[in-house]
Amino acid sequence: MAKTNSIAFPNMFSVSRNRVNTYEDDKSVVNRTRLLILTDPTELYHNPQFGVGLKKHLWTYNNENRKSIIQDEIKAQLRLHEPYAIADDTQFSDGLLFTGSSSDNDIEEIREINHLKMTCAIKTVYQTTAEVNIDGDNIRRNI
């Protein structure tokens, strides 16, 4: 029996089985954390304390200070809204670094400059580590 579950966002409905899809345990924590990270404050539930709001960090300087701000905001949101995550044990990859080269000739290299990629390793109360991967292209497409 699952200790926690959540609606499988964005694939919430299974029309063929006539039911609502859900995730359990670690998958549920990952699902809710991804929603928490990608949500802007007041966007969901009209709650100004819910959501990290990564969109506000787009088109700003991409440096160690910005990375620390994002990490602190994610940990604060996990403390507030995710009871199955141990927020202080959350670890982050160095995915917010400048990538690409100074060459302006290659279009693919130009696309990769300031590309936001982040992996959060969240320790859960189940004594496991769940990974949440965030890709900046998905955020930009939704603006």
Per-residue pLDDT of the chain (143 residues; tens, 9 = 90+): 458 777 877 777 877 888 888 888 878 888 888 888 888 998 887 888 899 988 887 777 777 888 888 889 999 999 999 888 888 888 888 654 344 444 545 555 545 555 667 788 888 887 788 887 777 655 544 43
Q: Is the pTM of this model over 0.75?
A: no
- Beta pairing, strands 85-92 & 13-14: unpaired
H and E: helices and strands count for the chain: 4, 7
Query: Of 83, 77, 86, which is closest to residue 50 (Cα–Cα)?
Result: 77
> Which pLDDT score is estimated for 141?
42
What amino acid occupies position 37? I
For residue 109, what pLDDT is reported? 52
Residues contacting 71, CB < 8 A, separation 6+: 90, 92
Q: In the chain, where do the E strands start and end?
A: 5-7, 13-14, 19-20, 22-24, 85-92, 117-124, 129-135
